[in-house]
Structure 1
Amino acid sequence: MGGHGAGGRSVGSADDVYLTFRAIAEDQPGPKLRAQFERCWPSYREWFLREGEAVRPSYAVCLRMLRTHMPELVPVYERLIGAVDGDDQMARFLSLYSPTPFLAACSQAMWTRGARPALLRNYDYRSHLLDGVILKTRYTGTRVIAMADCSWGALDGINEHGLAVSLAFGGRRPVGPGFGIALIVRYLLETCTTTREAAAVLRRVPVQMAYNVAVLDREARHLTAFIAPDREPVVTAAQVSTNRQGAIDWPEHARIWATVEREQALVHCVADGQGSLDQLTRAFLMPPVYRATHAGGWGTLYTSRYLPREGAMECLWPDRSWRLGFDDFVEGEQHVRYVVRAAAHPAGPA
């Protein structure tokens, strides 16, 4: 998980990290997406080739896998390649089939009581690997607002039917043939209207690495799916997930990223009958759930709150919020400053 575009990063001093988040509306892949892709392609390409070009699947394999598992996305994929004037390497990258492995942390929780069901998530990753683009699109006829990853993939998002989806790393290291999770999230948002439909997709589409996928619909029906390349998906009613799929499989990662501590803090908020959505939201903006920025840019880069009945997302930081809805989506930018809190960053992928 996690973008690799360095799309919005600039560093002003040794102590501060700055990111620019952009909101872009474009129904179909076109000049706006192309401009973003051109900014990011050098970093995308470096990541794509990190293990050697021969390791990545051929274009023929990528297209066949898309046609087999996500046929509704094939016309979009072909328009996307045309929009960026893509060559073979670009087309293989954009398929997001068996990409270079990537992982991070992230926390998720769903609020299902009262009139405002909500899906909240913290995206914990390295700042220069984030695209930082919120896309409002209509690729398959369904309006979608999503935090973009690898151009057209999605780290989290909502569609006009009120289905909200987000992801977190599952805390396990197996890698296998399958799609990058960002494209699976995109597919859910493009083709599903309910939690039940999303569960069916998550049970059948092959995934490259272990992830926890949170899904909430307009009727407050919810699920958390634990998916991985080496075992069958497990669909649960859990309202909270961080970076484990049951037992801790990777103790070092769990310790560094406080997997259990973050999970317990959120479970307390959700289980407390006296709590509120605002209290849960505040928990995402405070330790231990919120991870301060470390040298190298590691930390919580943004909090997103999805409101299915309002058709809107709110992108949150400790000092500000940014609301973007289907009926009030305004293109623009947010310039966010992160103050480095420690001398060394947590261990993680480059």
Structure 2
Amino acid sequence: MKQFYSDVIQYRGSHYDFGYYQGIQLRDSLILPNREKQWGPKKDRHFLINSEKFISIISQFSPAILDEIYGLADALGMEMEEAFRLFGGYYLEYVRSGCSIFTDSDFMVRNYDSHPRGYEGRYVFYAPTDHGYATIGPSMQITGRIDGMNEKGLVMGYNFTHSKNSDDGFLCNMIGRLVLETCANVDEAVALLKEIPHRQSFSYVALDPDGISYVIEASPRKVVARRSNVCTNHFHLLEEENRYRQEETRQREQTVQEQQQYSTNPYEAFKVMNNPEHGVFSDKYDASAGTIHTSVYFPKASKAWFVIGPDKKPVIFDFKKWLEGTDVNVKQIKGTLDYHRPFVNMGL
């Protein structure tokens, strides 16, 4: 087992200032040079950016996030086209992943399964002073979010379905950020997901303080919503969009359902996902399907749990106190994975 960590980022201020702040941090970080080494000559093939189109589309949904990207570019002395490639979450190809989500009326617990070398190791608290809701959650592509919760108690997570027949549109991580920053409840999240252009096919799970969770199945061609409390990596309604092989994801869905029926409290539900003995936690890292983190969000209590790696007690964050002005004392969230290569923020 090798030790890994995520840095905890905390900021209150405008989007431009937040972008500039993150850009200053990235100057001394390994994230950008390591990403450059990983992508190498493939970058131009994976990042197909039309700057004018990106500006037009992101401005429809959140001009404030565009300001954040401007701040990043200014701090890094970067041309805007390059900033859009790195931080825009539009057009970028996505590495396939696993992921499992279970919801109760009071919480969501989620395993994020992917490849450790693409994980950037940043857990972000952000309270904007210009536009949008305050959010908490792990980042992807700096500006995007892997899962999270906002100040209204809306909780979001997503699961990959497939990348076939992709189209122009936003990736999961930027869509997750847009949902958290602009939507106050599940109904608003469903409406946004039906309006926004999707690059690839994902399921988005949303839960708010009313306690009803929806799985929103989204492809570049159609978006539909269903009430459910379990989600893995296949669609139920958009069956024509599914992969050819679904045995593993359907078996994992059944395992989550069977194991969670014996959970009597949130910690038991967390252990079902995080303890490998229950059969949900995965160590298939080389296949981009190993569990990197397990997160739990409590929309009514405004608290979050987070852990890297298997069979650990979670770090507990009181988001309500943070919103009231009390910073968290945790600087890094540490954990171990059975993998030999580090996160992108740690080295290569």
TM bucket, shorter chain:
0.7 to 0.9
In structure 2, C-alpha distance between the alignment counterparts of 1:103 and 1:293, rounded to whole Å: 12
CA drift of 1:307 comes to 0.7
Cα offset, 1:260, TM superposition: 1.3
1:188 is matched by which residue type in structure 2?
V
Equivalence map 1:82-231=2 (5 Å): 82-87=74-79, 88-112=81-105, 117-139=106-128, 140-171=131-162, 173-229=164-220, 231=221
| Cα distance, 1:96 vs structure 2 | 1.4
Q: State the match for 2:67 in structure 1.
A: 75
Deviation for aligned residue 1:49: 5.6
Shift of 1:251: 4.0
Q: Which secondary structure state, in structure 1, belongs to the residue aligned with residue 192 of structure 2?
A: helix
Secondary structure at 1:174's aligned position in 2?
A: coil
Q: Which residue of 2 aligns with 1:243?
A: 233
- SS of match in other structure, 2:180: helix
Query: Could you tell me how far 1:121 is from its partner in structure 2?
Result: 0.7
Shift of 1:84: 3.2
Deviations for 1:212-246, whole angstroms, at most 9, x for unmatched residues? 101111121321100011x2101110111100012
Compute the TM-score of the two structures, normalised by the length of structure 2.
0.82
Aligned match of 2:325: none
Structure 1 window deviating more from structure 2 (173-182 vs 286-295): it is: 286-295
Q: Which amino acid aligns with 1:35?
A: Q
Question: Which aligned segments of 4 or more residues in structure 1 are displaced greater than 4 angstroms?
Answer: 293-298
Residue number in structure 2 paired with 1:303 = 294
Offset of 1:72 from its aligned partner? 4.5
Task: Pick closer, same or farther for the CA change 1:198–1:178 going to 2, 3 Å.
Answer: same
Give 1:93's aligned amino acid.
L
Structure 2, gaps ≥5 residues long = 13-17, 323-327, 341-348
1:279 counterpart letter in structure 2:
E
Distance 1:304 1:224 in 2: 18
Equivalences, count? 317
Unmatched runs of 5 consecutive residues or more in structure 1: 1-15, 342-350
2:23–2:73 CA contact under 8 A, matched in 1:
no
SS at 1:26's partner residue? strand
Residues 62, 97 of structure 1: 8 Å contact kept:
yes
CA RMSD of superposed structures (Å):
2.6
Aligned to 2:15: none
**Residue by residue, what CA displacement relative to the aligned partner does 1:31-55 show, whole Å, maximum 9, x if unpaired?**
3453246521124345386252596
Matched, 1:34 2:33: no
SS at match of 1:324: strand
Q: Which residue of 2 aligns with 1:333?
A: 332
Normalising by structure 1, what TM-score?
A: 0.82
| 1:25 aligned residue | 10
> Residue 279 of structure 2 aligns with which residue?
288
Which moved further from structure 2: 29-38 or 101-110? 29-38
Contact kept? 1:145, 1:158, Cα under 8 Å:
yes
Q: Which amino acid aligns with 1:319?
A: K
Specify the alignment match of 1:347 in structure 2.
Answer: none
Identity %: 18
Q: How many Å apart are 1:73 and its aligned residue?
A: 2.8
Q: Does residue 260 in structure 1 map to residue 259 in structure 2?
A: no
Change (3 A) 1:266 1:177: same
Q: Which amino acid aligns with 2:334?
A: H
